[in-house]
Amino acid sequence: FYNFMWLAGNRLRLMDLILNQLALANSLVLFSKGIPQTMAAFGFKYFLDNTGCKLVFFNHRVGTGVSFSTICLLNGFQAIKLDPSICRWLELKIRSQKFIVFCCFLCWVLHLLINTSVLFLVNSPLDSKNLSVENNYGLCSWAIPERVSAALYTILYFSPDFLSLGFMAWASGSMVFVLYRHKQRVQQICSNRLSSRPSHEARAIGTIMVLVSSFFAFFSVHSILTIWMTHFKKPGRWIVDNSVFVAS
């Protein structure tokens, strides 16, 4: 829907611009690796050549990174709109459509540059040689050259995601704190008219906690499975398929 609105030339709100990028990034994740990996899980194993494998993993990694960054941008946007005192300078900036477009553009550029290494590490299963760590992912193989430490590369691989998670936790915590503080003030003012129904603030806090907890849970499982596949030559098809499912 958001991509259609954008392609139709309709003027989008600032929030819609962020959601449009999030929809585009998530679509890239699903169509780049979700569909090929699903086909591989049903027996279509070697239908991608070397170039196809590189593009699939590169697009998947870029889409995942942009999705993370966009969620952080969305959380920061919501937190600053909810409490402008968090950062007065950014509170003025986020009112500008050009600033939001620049942030979205920056997300794509950074992750395109960061993930160029994927183009050199991923090969088709029949085109892997002289590699110290080799993992067959059903449709492609992921390998780290001998001169690169697997542990070091794992840290570098996940560092942008961990930074995004840290910012997301800060923004979500800020929103929860502001909502809780507002709820306490409202209760003091309207103490004689307390209702048995949960307040709007309480429902919003619950929604934020559920969303953030779910995101952290899925990301933790995905990280564990990815680290397992990076450090073991034969991780098993169950690990590979479930890693892609959790990532999606």
Q: Facing residues of 134 across strands?
A: 143
R_g of the chain, CA atoms, integer Å? 21
Q: Is the pLDDT of residue 131 over 70?
A: no
What average pLDDT score do residues 222-228 get? 78
Structure tokens at 55: 């593009």
Q: Is the pLDDT of residue 12 over 70?
A: yes
What average pLDDT score do residues 109-120 get? 85
* DSSP classification of residue 123: E
Percent of the chain predicted with pLDDT > 70: 75
The number of angstroms, rounded, from the C-alpha of 2 to the middle of its chain's C-alpha atoms is: 18
Whether this model's pTM surpasses 0.95: no
Q: Tokens 């906690």 sit at which residue? A: 209
Percent of the chain predicted with pLDDT > 90: 4
Q: Is the pLDDT of residue 174 over 80?
A: yes
pLDDT value for 109: 92
Which residues are CB-contacts of 231 (< 8 A; sequence separation ≥ 6)?
Answer: 133, 150, 151, 154
Q: Is the pLDDT of residue 72 over 60?
A: yes
**pLDDT-based confidence at 108, cuts 50/70/90?**
very high
What average pLDDT score do residues 53-78 get? 87
**pLDDT-based confidence at 132, cuts 50/70/90?**
very low
Domain positions in the chain are 1-123+148-247
Q: Is the pLDDT of residue 218 over 50?
A: yes
| Measured distance between the N- and C-terminal CA atoms of the chain, rounded to whole angstroms | 19
pLDDT tens digits along 20-48: 889 889 888 888 877 777 776 677 655 66
